[in-house]
Structures are given as C-alpha cells and as structure tokens.
Structure 1
Amino acid sequence: MSAPSARLAITGSTGALGGAVAAALAEAGREQRLIVRSAGRAPRLEGASIATASYGHTPEAKDALRGIDVLFMVSAAESADRVAEHIGMINAAAAAGVTHIVYTSFVGAAEDSVFTLARDHWATEQHLRASGVNYTILRDNFYLDALVSFADANGVIRGPAGEGRVAAVARRDIAAVATRILLDPAAHRGHTYTLTGPASITLAEVAEALTRHTGTPTRFENETVEEAYASRAHYGVPSWQEDAWVSTYTAIAAGEFDVVTDDIRLLTGEPATGIEALLTSAE
C-alpha cells in the first residue's frame, strides 16, 4: 500500500512564481490549498481550495494552515517588516502542525551580504532551520525575467555593477523545480538547492541581447554608488528600498550573483533557461 500524498498549501498563487507552481500541481492532479490575502484574486484551479491569510497575521495564518503537511512558502513582498512576516508565517505553520516548509530564499544569503535583501533571507533561513519543521530551501539567483526589464524608457540599464556577472534564473525553471519537490517532498527534506541560469553574464551582455531581440538599442551605463542613489531619488521611496535597489548592482559588482550550478537540470532533467532562450520565447 502506497503512502498517502502530503497535503499541500501554496502561498503566492496570485503571483508569477506561486501561480505557476499551483497551476502545475493542478495539472498533475494534486489537491492543494491556496493561501491568499484576497480570495477574489486566487486562481480557480481543479482540486484547489482557498484560505485567506497574510504573512503579517499569524493567528489567521495558523487557521489557514490547519491540516496541511507541506507548505510552499514564497518569500513575502519586499518591505521593512519582511523578516518579521516570514518569522510569523513559519511560527504559524509550526503551530498548525505543518511538518515541512519549502522556502524560496536567495543565492548567497548571509548576514553580511552586499545585497541587503539577501540578509533578510538569511535571517529567515536561520529561523526556519531552528523551528523544528523540516525544510527545503531554494536559493534562487536574481530573476532573469526581471533583469531583462531593467532598461529605462531610453533603453539604458544603469547602476554600479561594473563588469560583474549574474547567473540570473528564469522563474519558470524555479517553478519546475518547486513542483518536482512538492510532488515528492520527503525526498528533499533538509536540502538546500541553488537555482541559477546556465551562465553568468554582465549587464552589458544583457543590453546586447535585448538589442538583438527587441530591435530597440539598449546599453549599460555604469554608475558610481553616489550617482545611483541620486538617479533614483525622484522615486521618493523609503531608504531601505533605495538601499535594496542600489545594492542589487553593487552585489553584482562584488560577485555575489556570479554563481552557476547544475541543480535545475539535476532536479528537472531539463537545462536551465538562458537569456537568449527566454527572449526568443517572448518574441
């Protein structure tokens, strides 16, 4: 007699990554519970129930997670309270009896990461590892889908990245990995995977690829750190957000995103998507 399937819950199903995972699980015939802030925005999928909760409200999250074995926890939206929200969700899951959390972290997450948001992921990982709940951590490189949208209206990608390289990863590859893990979560307990693109590229090379595929001349302009803060000041965002934006580029310059692994191919059987393949598929 085969073991019963784990009862799954998915966060972030109204977004690109969580939505792709939820759709793939539905296609595979798996039942799941979609944890969303607004039930009206949840995708309608075969075998999916809907529960309303947010990371910032631990009691309602605990109620939403009752009866769940495995939680796919997409990291919360960037905010000054992000770590507290993550900790609250992990605590709610543990209190609800969840036995395994699959968490989307970031490549090279560390207390002293140049990229400020990677520090948030490190703090979350530390809490998850100490929570007593089984875990699988997906350390994603920078999203390739976001990187190819970095050019401004004048076709300029600007920031203090220098000649640094980034092995940006396509969201669809992360979704494919997460789906495989959720279909057989026990095989991945205690594992940390680093998900990257097939090669590290400079922002100048990103601009060249965009020029070829879009027909719009695109170039990379290297800024100093001071110039980067000045060119973004008009957005009027809080200092933590400004720091996150600028440190995206300084982390590239420091080599923090210059990490290439074969984990996507090993987990899915398919090679990671590169920038040329991503742009070709969008044409």
Structure 2
Amino acid sequence: MSNIQNGPFIVTGASGQLGRQVVDLLVQAGAGPVIAISRTPDKLADLAGKRVEAREGDFNDPASLEAAFAGGKRLLIISTDDLEPGKRLAAHSNAIAAAKTVGIDHIVYTSFAGPVAESPIGFAQDHEGTEKLITESGADHSILRNNMYTDFLLMGGQQSVAMGTHFSAAADGKTGYVTRADCARAAAAALMKATGRKTLDITGPETVSQAEVAAILSEIAGKEIPYVALPAEDLVQAMIANGLPEFMARVFASFDEAIAQGYLDVASGDLESLTGKPGQSVADFLAANRAALLQAPQEQ
C-alpha cells in the first residue's frame, strides 16, 4: 500500500478478533513499527520478530495507557465490547485522554452506524459521546462507523436453517452488513494512510432486508426458509426460553429494533474509497460459509 504515513502505529485490542486482523494487515503491508496493545499481551507472543512490540494496556486502567501509547504517532482505538450503557464511553475517554497526553497525531476509531441517543441500541450514545471527544481532542482523526457485522448472520442463520424459518424483529428494515474482515481492512488503511478529519460509513455494497437474508439462506440450504417478522418482545421471550439471559436477549432484540427503525439502513462507497476494494456482499459471504450454516446448532 502506497503513501503509508510515518509510525509507530498503535493498535488497541490487538489480541481480539478485529485487532489481530489489523495487526496482520499492517505487517503484510510493511508498515511499522507496530505497537500492539492488549490486556493479555502474552497472546501476541507469536508476533515477536515482525516489527511488532506487544504492550499491556487496559482502557479501564488509565494509569496503564500513557506508557502503552508512549512513542506512538497513529492510534487505532477499537471500541470495547461492554454492553452496559456508559461503560464504553468511560473507557474510551481514558484512551483519548492518554492519546492527547502523549501527542498522538491521528486517531482512528471504530464507531457504529447510527450513533445517536435516540437509537434503541443502548450503547449507541457511547459511540456518539466518543466521537464528540475525539473531534474535541484536536487530533486529526478517522471515525469509522462500522455497520453490523455480516459474521453475526452465521450463528442466527444456522438456527434459521435448522428450524426452517428465519425469525427477526427487524420488520422490513434493511442493514448495510459489512464483514469483520472488511472492517479490519478499513481500519488498517485509515491507520496507515488517512489524513485530516473524516467520518466514514464502513458498510457492505448494499443494504439487505431480513426477507432477503431468508431468501439467501433458502438458496444455500436448498429448501424454503420463510421470513417471519415478530414483535420485539416476542423475540426477547423466545430467546429467554432458549436459555439466553434476559439482559442479552434485550440487547440482541435492540439491534433488530434499530434495523426496523432505519438506523442501520446505510450503505456507502467509503470502504472502497478508503481501501480500493468494495466490501463483500451478504450473499457472497454466506455462500462462502455454507458449511458452517448447514451444521447442526450446538445445544446450549
């Protein structure tokens, strides 16, 4: 990749699924040096010798962050996975404060589609608050509003294939599904090349309804899998009956409610503009994972 900016490049959450892919992409592109931050840096031991320095850092431990970020120039803040509203914002605030202290030049942040307080998704306002803190920090930045991961359709799709019906509380709403791998490409590209201050929508090539997801699953499974739209509360109770804790059931249902209300109905060309390659479609991703979709779901 040409026009790579000067590092060091810092990747937080580097031992997670997204962060590790970003680190690998930086290494493949010859960008460096790379500082990989994790609460468990021993999980990154295999990166030794690849111009990657593993450091310990925890967003919930502010004292750990200045040392973790020291010497870095460009920082990727991967959103934490705290589902309780307010916790992400507090953790992200610690990271942004440390970035300001050590003099980070450019912050890349993995936000989420529809980051407004009105969204049914409880942590949407944490993303809204984090974006505000970044814009107020004075640093150049790339805010990447990642849409829903296409990867999440694998577990639900497996259940739908097994049951012969695709249930959702998303009504006729559409989603600009994007794969985790494409989000990693976007984050790596922004970290290496982006300049200025931009907010980008990182999405798949088109928005897709749950009826269209059901049609794709039907083609893959070789049988008719109809889409049945449920009220959100009915979906919550069904998930609870299947053994899911109520808190998690309501979190999952809130994504469907956000889709129904249009908050995730976003598709743009920003991913292709940033990386030079469009995102993978839902149909292509699910077809590539046909074997996983056709496996029998494991009992909880």
Q: Residue 52 of structure 1 is aligned with which of 47, 51, 56?
A: 56
TM-align CA RMSD: 2.2
What's the secondary structure of 1:102's corresponding residue? strand
Normalised by the length of structure 2, the TM-score is 0.85
Measured at CA, do residues 194 and 43 of structure 1 come closer, stay the same or move farther in structure 2, by a change above 3 Å?
farther
The residue aligned with 1:163 is: 172
Q: Residue 112 of structure 2 is aligned with which of 102, 106, 118?
A: 106
Question: Using the alignment, how far apart are the partners of 1:17 and 1:3 within structure 2?
Answer: 21
Question: Using the alignment, how far apart are the partners of 1:147 and 1:158 within structure 2?
Answer: 12
Residue 29 of structure 1 aligns with an amino acid whose one-letter code is G
Q: Residue 36 of structure 1 is aligned with which of 27, 38, 41?
A: 38
CA shift at 1:216, angstroms? 7.1
Residue 38 of structure 1 aligns with an amino acid whose one-letter code is T
CA shift at 1:183, angstroms? 1.8
The residue aligned with 1:173 is: 182
What's the secondary structure of 1:179's corresponding residue? helix
CA contact (8 A) 1:156 1:220 kept: yes
Q: Residue 203 of structure 1 is aligned with which of 205, 210, 222?
A: 210
CA contact (8 A) 2:6 2:73 kept: no
What's the secondary structure of 1:116's corresponding residue? coil
Identity %, equivalent residues: 29
Measured at CA, do residues 226 and 238 of structure 1 come closer, stay the same or move farther in structure 2, by a change above 3 Å?
closer
Residue by residue, what CA displacement relative to the aligned partner does 1:12-42 show, whole Å, maximum 9, x if unpaired?
2222221111101011122201000112222
CA contact (8 A) 1:173 1:273 kept: yes
The residue aligned with 1:133 is: 139
CA contact (8 A) 2:15 2:41 kept: no
CA contact (8 A) 1:111 1:123 kept: no
Residue 63 of structure 1 aligns with an amino acid whose one-letter code is A
Question: Using the alignment, how far apart are the partners of 1:139 and 1:216 within structure 2?
Answer: 35
- Which region of structure 1 is more displaced relative to structure 2, 110-119 or 259-268? 110-119
CA contact (8 A) 2:7 2:34 kept: no
What's the secondary structure of 1:44's corresponding residue? helix
The residue aligned with 1:258 is: 265
Q: Mark the runs of 5 or more structure 2 residues left unpaired by the alignment.
A: 291-300
Measured at CA, do residues 243 and 133 of structure 1 come closer, stay the same or move farther in structure 2, by a change above 3 Å?
farther
The residue aligned with 1:24 is: 25
Q: Mark the runs of 5 or more structure 1 residues left unpaired by the alignment.
A: none
- Which region of structure 1 is more displaced relative to structure 2, 107-116 or 22-31? 107-116
CA contact (8 A) 1:117 1:244 kept: no
Residue 36 of structure 1 aligns with an amino acid whose one-letter code is S
What's the secondary structure of 1:191's corresponding residue? strand
How does 1:9-20 map onto structure 2 within 5 Å?
Answer: 9-20=10-21
Question: Using the alignment, how far apart are the partners of 1:4 and 1:125 within structure 2?
Answer: 23
Q: Residue 75 of structure 1 is aligned with which of 70, 79, 84?
A: 79
What's the secondary structure of 1:115's corresponding residue? coil
Residue 116 of structure 1 aligns with an amino acid whose one-letter code is G
How many pairs align? 279
Normalised by the length of structure 1, the TM-score is 0.90
CA shift at 1:48, angstroms? 0.5
Residue by residue, what CA displacement relative to the aligned partner does 1:252-275 show, whole Å, maximum 9, x if unpaired?
111111111111121222222101
What's the secondary structure of 2:200's corresponding residue? strand
Question: Using the alignment, how far apart are the partners of 1:155 and 1:6 within structure 2?
Answer: 51
Residue by residue, what CA displacement relative to the aligned partner does 1:39-74 show, whole Å, maximum 9, x if unpaired?
222262311010011111111012111111111111
CA shift at 1:7, angstroms? 1.3
The residue aligned with 1:150 is: 156
- Which region of structure 1 is more displaced relative to structure 2, 32-41 or 78-87? 78-87
Measured at CA, do residues 207 and 132 of structure 1 come closer, stay the same or move farther in structure 2, by a change above 3 Å?
same
**Residue 269 in structure 1 maps to residue 276 in structure 2:** yes
Question: Using the alignment, how far apart are the partners of 1:155 and 1:111 within structure 2?
Answer: 36
Question: Using the alignment, how far apart are the partners of 2:113 and 2:5 within structure 1?
Answer: 33
